[in-house]
Each structure stands twice: as structure tokens, then as C-alpha cells.
């Protein structure tokens, strides 16, 4: 099977690596010759590194590299069975690309977008045969991250969904099915990890170091929210938040923070710029956290219950199955535990009370409790346990 990829940036070249390592001939296209050169150098470097570590042989590295063809036109895509678009998050540009693709590829070719925030249905609407368009959302870097969100458009044929899932599963990925709604699973459910941490900062309850300390020591998260935002890039994280906020008709649960916007405007983007919430310069001094255990517990519980509420609401609105929501958050963003399992452990009634306390304090719709959690509290049921509460 030939795989064609549009876009040779970090995501596109990473997907090319994965496909080539699983035996596919890959056509990698980008309008920018420099991007193709950088992609070639990246692939050569990463494959040589894998060979040096003994994960693949030198012969395998050469064979894999030889399966990737850099092309400067999409005209060679005529033999591709699957095309994956991984370009700029601009709906008009993506629609234009998909419209052009239909003039090149055979009728049976699957057309996929790697979008993380745009409507797959809107992209499919640009095509004469929208039933073969689907979302395949990889996480960066694709070579390391196991999770892939498969998102059918409302026009997508069930057969195309099954074929796509089978292909991506064969690449050793963990696939989850998501409804075509803003943020899909991960970028929707994860919003409070950043948003509520920023709210706690903006209120002056704790500084960035203390909030990160709380989430790592009490919650067991690998990185705190501010460390992670600096790692992702404050410009990228803010844009995703703003996109989700606007896509949900300005629902206050997804409201961006002026603090993060100002950092992005100032060029304090995080690790890539040398400064963000933390200073990454040589000999830079960063604040030490307040290690008060009660404060840490309160910070962790507030952020966690907001995450649980978002996961429960995603299930309530049938964005994905409860099993796929848990997989998405543990494999996509490496949460230490699935949020719905966490809710079972804490107690559904406890979650409802915590959310209601936040709502009583602020009287903001941001803190409204998911109808599903409230229903489960009334019925005394769990997400994953049998029977009723004892």
C-alpha cells in the first residue's frame, strides 16, 4: 500500500517515519523545498539513532529510508491508497487541498486530515465524494506517541472508518473513535488542566511552581500544567484554547486566560523562546514551590474535578465511549489514571459536591456540573464498577 503525506513539518515527517517503518512506500510532499530537505535530514538522523540503539538494524534503517520518496508535486499520488494531510490549521487551505486531491487520486483512495481542531465534516464538504474523507489525528511526535484519534465526518462511510482504523492499528498505534466535535477527545477533555491552573494563578491562590508541584506530587502527573504549556509553546496552547472556546460558542468552561495571551504576545513562548512561565536561560533562577500539603491537595482536587467533569460531559454528549475516553487521556497525554476511573475512586457524589461548591463560590457557568455526574450521584452508580454504592 502506498501512503501519501501532504506537509513535511514535524507532524508530516513523523507520520512518514511511522508508515515507512511498517513497510509502506511513502510519498512525502511539501511546497517548500527546504521543508523537504529538513524532513530528509530528520528521517536519516532518527533512523540512524534507532540503529545505534539496536532497535533496528543498519540494513533496516537503509531500507526504511529508501521507502520514503520526497516529491514536489501531488501528481504522483495517483497510486496512493491513503493520503494524509498534515498542513497548517486553516480550513480554507485544507478544503482547497482536498478539492485538488480529488482530481488526482482514484475514487477508492481514503483522504484523511490530521487536523486537531477543525471540523472534519467541513473539510469533507469540499469534496465530490465526501464519504471517503476522515480525520486521523496523530500526537506529536508520531514516532513515539501511541494514541491516534480516528474521527469520521458525518459524511464518512462506515466502511472507510473500519478500513482506516485497521490501517492505523496495523502501525502499532492505539486508536480511539471520536465524534467530529471541537477538540475531539484529548484537546477537549484536557482543557481544564491548563485553564483551571491558569485560573488559580490569576486569582493569586498559588504561583506556577506551587501549582506544578501540586499536580506532580499529589496527582502523579509527569509534568505540571505550566511546565507542559512551556513545552508545547504558549502560542500553540493559547491558539488551541481560543479555537475550542470559539467553536463551543464561547462556552465559559473553555475561556482562555489573558495571562497566557499576554505571554504569547510578548514572545514568551516557553522552551523554544527561552522564557515562558519559567526562565530557561543559563543560570536562570526560578521560583521554588510552596510545599504546604493542604494547599497542594486543594489545588490538585480543584483541577482534577474539572477534568473529571469534562470527561463525564464528553461521555454524556457521546463524543466517545468511556473506554476510549480513558485510553485517550492515559495514552494521548500520559495522565496517571483515567479520569472516569478516578471519579469512581473519589466518589461520584464527592465530585458533584466539589463542583457545586465551586459554582456556589463563583456563580459562573464554568463550574456547572455535568448532567451525567448529577444523574449518577442520584442513582448511586459508577462508571466502571458493578452495582450501586455501599
Are residues 196 and 290 both part of a single domain?
yes
Query: Could you report the per-residue pLDDT of 33-71, keeping only the tens digit for each?
Result: 999 999 999 999 999 999 999 999 999 999 999 999 999
Identify the domain boundary among 177, 212, 228: 177
Residue 173, domain CATH: 3.40.50.720
Residue 305, domain CATH: 1.10.1040.50
Three-state DSSP class for residue 21: helix
Are residues 334 and 373 both part of a single domain?
yes
Range of the domain at 47: 2-177
**Contact at 8 Å (CB) between 7 and 85?**
yes
Are residues 350 and 209 both part of a single domain?
yes
Question: To the nearest 5 percent, what fractions of the chain are helix, strand and coil?
Answer: 55, 10, 35
**Contact at 8 Å (CB) between 226 and 357?**
no
Specify the pLDDT at position 279: 97
Are residues 158 and 209 both part of a single domain?
no
Identify the domain boundary among 152, 177, 202: 177
List the strands of the sheet with 110-113, edge to edge.
68-71, 25-29, 2-6, 82-85, 110-113, 133-138, 147-152, 174-177
- Global pTM reads 0.94
* DSSP-assigned states of every residue in 237-301: HHHHHHHHHHHTTS-GGG---HHHHHHHHHT--BTTTTBSSSB-STT---PPPP--HHHHHHHHH
Supply the Cα-derived Rg of the chain in whole angstroms: 22
- State the Cα–Cα distance between residues 156 and 136, nearest whole angstrom: 13
What are the CA-CA distances from residue 200 to residues 211, 232, 266 (Å)? Answer: 8, 20, 22
The per-residue b/e assignment along 225-237, b for 16 or more CB within 10 angstroms, e otherwise, is: bbbbbbebbbbbb
Number of structural domains in the chain:
2
Are residues 152 and 108 both part of a single domain?
yes
The candidate with the shortest Cα–Cα distance to 260, out of 284, 289, 236, 224, is 236
Are residues 309 and 372 both part of a single domain?
yes
Are residues 291 and 241 both part of a single domain?
yes
Are residues 82 and 210 both part of a single domain?
no
Residues with a catalytic annotation lie at 116, 137, 149, 187
Backbone angles phi, psi at 6, to 5 degrees: -105, 120
Helix (H), strand (E) at residue 135 = strand 133-138
Identify the domain boundary among 149, 177, 205: 177
Averages of pLDDT over runs of 10 residues in the chain (390 residues) are 96 97 97 95 96 96 96 93 95 97 96 94 97 96 95 98 98 97 96 98 98 98 97 92 94 96 97 96 93 98 98 98 97 95 96 98 97 96 78
Backbone angles phi, psi at 104, to 5 degrees: -115, -45
Amino acid at each position: 500500500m502506498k501512503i501519501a503525506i501532504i506537509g513535511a513539518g514535524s507532524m508530516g515527517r513523523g507520520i512518514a517515519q511511522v508508515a515507512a517503518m511498517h513497510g509502506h512506500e511513502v510519498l512525502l510532499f511539501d511546497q517548500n523545498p527546504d521543508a523537504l530537505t529538513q524532513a530528509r535530514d530528520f528521517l536519516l538522523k532518527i533512523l540512524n539513532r534507532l540503529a545505534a540503539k539496536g532497535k533496528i538494524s543498519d540494513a533496516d534503517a537503509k531500507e526504511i529510508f529508501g521507502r520514503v520518496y520526497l516529491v514536489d508535486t501531488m501528481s504522483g499520488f495517483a497510486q496512493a491508497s491513503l493520503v494524509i494531510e498534515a498542513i497548517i490549521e486553516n480550513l480554507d487551505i485544507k478544503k482547497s487541498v482536498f478539492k485538488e486531491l480529488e482530481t488526482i487520486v482514484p475514487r477508492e483512495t481514503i483522504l484523511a486530515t490530521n487536523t486537531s481542531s477543525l471540523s472534519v465534516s467541513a473539510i469533507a464538504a469540499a469534496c465530490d465524494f465526501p464519504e471517503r474523507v476522515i480525520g486521523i489525528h496523530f500526537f506529536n511526535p508520531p514516532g513515539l506517541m501511541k494514541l491516534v484519534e480516528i474521527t469520521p465526518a458525518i459524511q464518512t462511510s462506515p466502511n472507510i472508518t473500519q478500513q482506516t482504523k485497521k490501517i492505523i492499528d496495523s502501525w502499532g498505534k492505539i486508536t480511539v473513535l471520536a465524534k467530529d466535535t471541537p477538540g475531539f477527545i484529548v484537546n477537549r477533555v484536557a482543557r481544564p488542566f491548563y485553564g483551571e491552573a491558569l485560573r488559580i494563578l490569576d486569582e493569586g491562590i498559588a504561583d506556577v511552581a506551587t501549582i506544578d508541584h501540586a499536580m506532580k506530587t499529589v496527582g502523579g502527573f509527569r509534568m505540571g500544567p505550566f511546565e507542559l504549556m512551556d513545552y508545547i509553546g504558549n502560542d500553540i496552547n493559547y491558539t488551541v484554547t481560543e479555537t475550542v472556546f470559539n467553536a463551543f460558542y464561547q462556552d465559559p468552561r473553555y475561556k482562555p486566560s489573558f495571562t497566557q495571551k499576554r505571554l504569547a504576545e510578548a514572545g514568551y513562548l516557553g522552551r523554544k523562546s527561552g522564557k515562558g512561565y519559567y526562565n530557561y536561560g543559563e543560570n536562570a533562577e526560578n521560583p521554588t514551590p510552596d510545599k504546604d500539603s493542604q494547599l497542594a491537595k486543594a489545588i490538585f482536587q480543584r483541577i482534577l474535578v474539572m477534568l473529571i467533569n469534562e470527561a463525564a460531559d464528553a461521555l454524556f454528549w457521546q463524543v466517545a465511549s468511556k473506554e476510549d475516553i480513558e485510553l485517550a487521556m492515559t495514552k494521548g497525554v500520559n495522565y496517571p489514571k483515567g479520569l472516569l476511573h478516578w471519579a469512581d475512586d473519589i466518589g461520584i457524589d464527592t465530585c458533584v459536591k466539589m463542583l457545586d461548591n465551586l459554582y456556589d463560590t463563583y456563580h459562573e457557568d464554568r463550574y456547572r456540573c455535568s448532567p451525567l455526574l448529577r444523574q449518577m450521584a442520584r442513582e448511586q452508580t459508577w462508571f466502571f464498577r458493578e452495582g450501586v454504592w455501599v
